[in-house]
Structures are given as C-alpha cells and as structure tokens.
Amino acid sequence: MANAASLPETGFFRLRQIIGNPKADPPIPPLIPVSRSTWWAGVKNGRFPKAVKLGPNTTVWRVEDIRSLISNVEAQKESADA
C-alpha cells in the first residue's frame, strides 16, 4: 500500500489509479491492492470512501479521502503490531 505522504494534497483519483492497472503502458501500481469488485463492495458497505460523480461516465474519489483511508489502515496495522 502506498504511503499517504507521497500523494498530492488535493484532487481526484479514478478507480484505476486507486486499485492499479497492470495492463496499462506503463503499468499503474495500486495505492490500495484490492480487486474492482472488492473496492465497490467496500464503497457500498462504508469501508471505503464514497465516490463523486463528475458526469454520467466519470466517477472519482477525493484524494483527501484516499489519503485518510491509507493513514487509517497504516495506524491500525501499527497498533496491531504493537
């Protein structure tokens, strides 16, 4: 999983930027290594942040929400290791 500090402060991410795309040229590494179906199930049950619709075919997530998710996961991992 990516480090939240290495992400931009603001903006939006498309799904392929979050979960990665190994078939892209060059390949896009995942920020959160889960499958597309796992991601959408997590959005539905509240585990992952809600999407923002910019248009009928454009769904994005706020960078701030993804940074927060990564920070929370890192904090949970550190407390579990302690």
pTM: 0.86
d(CA 23, CA 61): 22
d(CA 13, CA 62): 6
Instruction: Check: CB of residue 70 under 8 Å from CB of residue 6.
Output: no
Report pLDDT for 2: 66
Q: How far is CA 47 from each of CA 8, 24, 28, 41, 65, rounded to the nearest angstrom?
A: 22, 27, 23, 8, 12
Report pLDDT for 7: 84
Angle at CA 13, nearest 5°, toward 32 and 47? 45
Model pLDDT for residues 17-54, shown as the tens digit of each residue: 999 999 999 999 999 999 999 999 999 999 999 999 99
